[in-house]
A and B are shown apart, each in its own frame.
Chain A
Amino acid sequence: MSRSRQLLDRYGAAAQVQQQGVEIFVVVDEEGSRFDRAVRAVLRATTTDGPGVWEDLLGASKSLRWRMATHPQPISASPALLQGVESVLHEANSLRGAVGEEDLLDEIAGAAQRVAEVDPGFGSTLRESIVEVGAQDCLVIAASVAARDGIRGWLSDLGVIVVTASEVRTTSSVVEQSYVVGPPRFYAHPVVAAPASYGVTFLVPEWFGDRSLPHSVLSDYAEGAVKVSARIFDVGERLAEYHPPPQDDDAAEAETALLPRPSWSSGLHAVVEVGQDAVNARRVVLAGELAMWLDSGKIRSFDPRQPPGERVTYVEVDSVGPGTYLLLRPGATEHQALVDIALGELGARGAGIAESQREWKARLADRLRTRDLVMVTRSLRDDGVKAVAQVRAWTDPALIRPQREMDFRLLLSWLGLSHEPYVENAAALHRAILRASVRLREELEHAVSAADVTSLERDGTLELEAPMVGVSAMLATRVLAVSPFTRRVARHEVRVPEPDRSGRWLE
């Protein structure tokens, strides 16, 4: 099918879902509800004093809860779910004798045991719905690769297409109906804002409290915003009396506390000594049981969705999030390596250039220290400098010079410096860094094209050979989580991956 024909269907599907909204099937799940109550009870009991010794039991329980909401197939075909139950039983057992609340442990272990014995209810709802619509007119969307593989095996007799959310964009044709397994908040906005079907239905076990739909941050500010509504249907029959989870405004917050999350504790001990060069940084949990501190600026990234030759790029650190692939140079920042290579290439001139760069930056930093920022920017603007908002950034050694040469000349005059040798030196350094950067990018593109991207997507990390002088092997790694907080961290500790197990309960 031609791309323009596909587009006709995709725009049509988006418009129809926007107009009609989506459906949420809330399915009775008595065993799941019992386990959910037990987890909430543990969470409540530990709210005041923090998780402490309960941290691993909570981690394992949240992880199991996530799997219960995303693996609908019968227990016999659901090893991930059984493994999750095992972890909860193991963690509960290891707390026996160590904590006083034996009743909490009994209840959570008993409830987990039942989860391993009764098939999830929303599985049969999914199967029946597909049969009713017709497998060839359906698409099943799973929350992870593991969930997709499990569902695919279980539904293979129907011949229905099962994909992860990120694979939806590559499915070729638009179908009648998508069934999305799990709560809407487990999915990003494309599942409702760029669907591959004219109807979208979520299947959610009843104990999951938050039924809000994902939406892009752009929609809050946009004209013609894509706002999708949901109609909720209760499905299934109940044997016992049931107290549904709260459906008020706090539901989303309560569910957030119950999602698998990294234990940020490993990042909290960072200490900066007085007088040490420090920066604000976020803690980033990486695949392969690694974590690191990440400051501001740009970082090299790898985008497997792009065509070969255009996969290696830079991203702003602020926009790094779960799912971003980073290309790291273990041990030191890439920029410093490039500057060193560039200065080395410039040979005898290198030292003089480094010195002249230090000189004008120091003078600018001095002006900024002694004068009011507003006065400085006004004065520079009066002199004709355009990018005055960047004035602070220009003191950063990583920024070679203002982007416009005219801005640089005007700035130098304002600093009371002659234009030369600063302009020529900065230009020479800039060119040398660009050359080094181009070479490194080409080498990385080459390494990436030779690498096994499937294994990177599966394992989350991959070592790449970049034989360029001064740059040792690069590590491609997927970001699992970014801390909501920043800390003052010594500059030399930033962007250096280190072993860290705080992501072990993440899916």
Chain B
Amino acid sequence: MYQGEPARHARGTGENTDPSYPLARLLLADSELDLPGVPLTWIGSLLALGARLARLVHGDGHRKLVVAVSVPRRDFAAAIIATGWSLAREPKILGSPLEVLRLLERGQGIRAVNDKYVVTGAFGKLHEAAGTAFFAESWWHLDEIRAVTPLRTVPAATRMRRPNPGSIARFAHVDGAWDVRLAAPPSDLALIGTRAWLELDLQALLGVEGDDGPADSLSSLLLPDRDGAASMGARVLSCTRLAENLPLPDATMCAILDGSGAIEYLSDIDVPAVVCVVDRSVADDRAAETLVGRRVVRGAHFSVSGDLRWSPPRGIEAMAYTEPL
């Protein structure tokens, strides 16, 4: 069962405020071929874990919160916790598209969303009288642009189809700010593990049982930074290449470490929240030993049920502590 966070913290213009929604069961499908998917009771719990962390962590403290969850198999767990985090982060506040475009300088990086596409590239010019703007190597109608954000860097011109919000987006009340999310996705999350496996997990679709709307793919909710993506939210990193990517950008608020290979880097990852997914089907207990060792030596007590108000469902163990950043 999803534990109700999004509904209680409803925001945006999502129309669905049905109080029975939080009790809905969620369905997971590997891909379009497996729709409508399988009801898995723990998915709601893991989404809620990510969401609670997102609401709790602000990054103004001097301690990092480490939460470890052990699952019978790693599949999807990290991606779902990440999705919970991403759905619960406050959307950025953007000016109206025209206001933003007026302030942009020629050559500056831009990401824009209309009803069909999300595009990035360099800004060219604004032709207000004609109701058009030139950027990302094309002319665009101003009245079709839904959200625009300036970028610090100038990416190559990229275009991807705009994903539509599905039943999970409505359920979590992010459908109202959907275009803002696509233009300026929450980019304070890093998902670290075996990249090939994480990529496969992100192709999964999540739906709400009994909801006729389409399911959302995890990647349309997380907007991972893969090649060719026009909207880049969560960073997905392979632990074999992690040493080359450290330290994580200062804006990173949460890192989700999937498996022992990633948990090896626990001491190198200084961000306010770290979630470690321990795969119990793997015999090697080194990840658990690392975690327990750090908790015993450096950690201060933190209760998942008391302090985070999250109770692990049957089959999932959870342990947390805080340590100096």
Contacts and interface: CB of A to CB of B under 8 A. Distances in A.
Interface of A: 2-8, 10-11, 13-15, 18-19, 165-166, 168-169, 188-190, 193-194, 216-226, 298, 303, 305-307, 309-316, 318-321, 323-324, 386-387, 389, 403-404, 434, 437-438, 441, 445
Interface string B310-325: 0111111111000011
B284 A2 contact: no
B281 A194 contact: yes
B188 to A, nearest CB: 17
Contacts of A303: 261
A10 B290 CA distance: 26
- The interface centre, meaning the residue of B39, B241, B284, B303 with most chain A CB atoms within 10 A of its CB, is B284
A216 B246 contact: no
A165 B264 contact: no
Contacts of B39: 8
Q: Taking chain B's interface residues, is the majority helix, strand, or loop, or is none over half, making it mixed? A: mixed
A313 B261 contact: yes
Contacts of A169: 73, 281-282
A218 B319 contact: yes
A306 B282 CA distance: 12
A293 B298 CA distance: 27
Contact of A218 (B243, B264, B317): B317
A151 B291 CA distance: 37
Contact of B197 (A217, A298, A307, A323): A307
Interface stretch (B30-38, B84-92, B119-127, B167-175): B30-38
Nearest to A215: B285
A108 to B, nearest CB: 33
- The interface centre, meaning the residue of B68, B197, B314, B315 with most chain A CB atoms within 10 A of its CB, is B315
Contact of A226 (B29, B287, B291, B315): B315
A269 to B, nearest CB: 29
Contact of B316 (A2, A224, A311, A437): A224
Contacts of B16: none
B325 A437 contact: no
A11 B244 contact: no
Contact of B319 (A168, A222, A307): A222
Contact of A306 (B38, B194, B268, B285): B194
A307 B194 CA distance: 8
A194 B288 contact: no
- The interface centre, meaning the residue of A18, A220, A314, A441 with most chain B CB atoms within 10 A of its CB, is A314
Contacts of A434: 243-244
A368 B204 CA distance: 52
A218 B268 contact: no
A389 B75 contact: no
A69 to B, nearest CB: 18
Interface in B76-99: 76
A320 B204 CA distance: 34
B282 A221 contact: no
A223 B319 contact: yes
Interface in B37-82: 37-40, 42, 68, 70-73, 75-76
B157 interface: no
11 contacts: A5-B38, A14-B315, A189-B280, A194-B72, A216-B285, A218-B278, A218-B288, A219-B317, A223-B303, A305-B282, A403-B247
A402 B273 CA distance: 21
Q: Which 6 A-B pairs have the closest CB atoms?
A: A319-B286, A188-B283, A224-B312, A222-B317, A218-B288, A194-B281
Nearest to B268: A403
B37 A226 contact: no
Contacts of A404: 247, 270
A297 to B, nearest CB: 12
Given A2-B30, A307-B197, 15 more contacts: A4-B29, A4-B204, A188-B284, A188-B285, A193-B70, A218-B288, A219-B317, A223-B311, A223-B312, A226-B70, A307-B196, A310-B195, A315-B286, A319-B264, A403-B247
B288 to A, nearest CB: 4
Contacts of B244: 434, 437-438
A312 B240 contact: yes
Contact of B38 (A7, A312, A318): A7
Contacts of B40: 4, 7-8, 11
A223 B318 CA distance: 5
B1 interface: no
Nearest to A315: B264
Interface of B: 28-30, 34, 37-40, 42, 68, 70-73, 75-76, 194-197, 204, 238-241, 243-244, 246-247, 260-261, 264, 268, 270, 278-293, 295, 298, 303-305, 311-319, 324-325
A13 B315 CA distance: 9
Nearest to A321: B286
B196 A309 contact: yes
B239 A313 contact: yes
A387 B303 CA distance: 25
Contacts of B281: 10, 168-169, 190, 194
Contacts of A217: 285, 288-289, 292
A370 to B, nearest CB: 25
Nearest to B287: A319
Contacts of A8: 38-40
A87 to B, nearest CB: 28
B240 A223 contact: no
B264 A216 contact: no
A190 B70 CA distance: 11
Contacts of A219: 317
A120 B187 CA distance: 61
Contacts of A224: 311-314, 316-318
A313 B257 CA distance: 15
A441 B195 CA distance: 16
Contacts of A298: 264
Nearest to B246: A403
Given A194-B73, A216-B285, A226-B280, A11 B292 contact: no
- The interface centre, meaning the residue of B71, B239, B319 with most chain A CB atoms within 10 A of its CB, is B319
A11 B42 contact: yes
A319 B282 contact: no
Contacts of B314: 15, 18-19, 224
B191 to A, nearest CB: 14
A323 B285 CA distance: 11
Contacts of B75: 3, 7
Contacts of A194: 72-73, 279-281
Contacts of A389: 298, 324
Contacts of B261: 303, 306, 313, 315
Contacts of B246: 403
A418 B144 CA distance: 55
Contacts of A305: 282
B218 to A, nearest CB: 12
A13 B280 CA distance: 13
A438 B242 CA distance: 11
A404 B250 CA distance: 10
A276 to B, nearest CB: 29
B280 A4 contact: no
A193 B72 contact: yes
Contacts of A18: 314-315
A404 to B, nearest CB: 6
A310 B280 contact: no
